[in-house]
Amino acid sequence: MGYPESVLADDEQVVLHRHPHVKRLIGPIMALLLATAFAGFVSGFVNSTAWDPNAKNVVFGVIWAIWLVIVGWLALWPFLTWLTTHFVITDRRVMFRHGLLTRSGIDIALTRINSVEFVHGFIDRMLRTGTLIIESASQEPLEFYDVPRVEQVHALLYHEVFDNPSVAG
């Protein structure tokens, strides 16, 4: 899913666009699988009973309505939140946008960036993700969590900020 071109200034080019690492979706996927397995098990149990067919249909409706609420809350909402979270580096700025119903974001001009760091623990190193920390001239350092291939992003951002003569000068 590309970042919308309408938010870019004239002649501004996207250098990098990332969503958070897919590790954020492990919990929602597990919730989907467990809720589906549990709903299927309970439906199989209800189907094997000698209840009236209309009563079974009501119970099936309740089971799958509860399943729909659980999956919507614990799986679909986190997925849509992940999908609508963007970390974008252009040739002029770093942009972070997130939120599904209420959007929020921050832009940092490359000329205002003082330092760029990354942090990742053992598991994050195995998954090739981590936290990118950007310190700008006027704010506390900003931390962006679960950035995929954080070392490459760090190197790319460092290059854009400190090696690019149009930014560094």
**pLDDT of 8:** 84
Give the tokens for residue 99.
């939120």
69 with 112, same domain?
A: no
161 with 91, same domain?
A: yes
Choose the final residue of a domain: 81, 104, 125: 81
- In tens digits, the chain (169 residues) has pLDDT values of 456 677 888 888 999 999 999 999 999 999 999 999 999 999 999 999 999 999 999 999 999 999 999 999 999 999 999 999 999 999 999 999 999 889 899 999 999 999 999 999 999 999 999 999 999 877 789 999 999 999 999 999 988 887 776 655 5
66 with 31, same domain?
A: yes
- 140 domain-assigned: yes
Report how many helices (DSSP H) and strands (DSSP E) the chain contains, helices first: 6, 7
- Could you give the angle at the alpha carbon of 86 between the alpha carbons of 85 and 90, nearest 5°? 170
Structural domain that includes position 46: 26-81
**pLDDT of 126:** 95
**pLDDT of 168:** 52
d(CA 67, CA 39): 7
Per the structure, the count of domains in the chain is: 2
148 with 98, same domain?
A: yes
- 5 domain-assigned: no
48 with 131, same domain?
A: no
Choose the final residue of a domain: 81, 96, 113: 81
107 with 71, same domain?
A: no
42 with 114, same domain?
A: no
130 with 162, same domain?
A: yes
| SS3 call for 84 | coil
**pLDDT of 139:** 74
**pLDDT of 167:** 58
DSSP 113-161: EEEEEEE--HHHHHHTEEEEEEEESSSPPEEEEEEETHHHHHHHHHIII
94 with 162, same domain?
A: yes
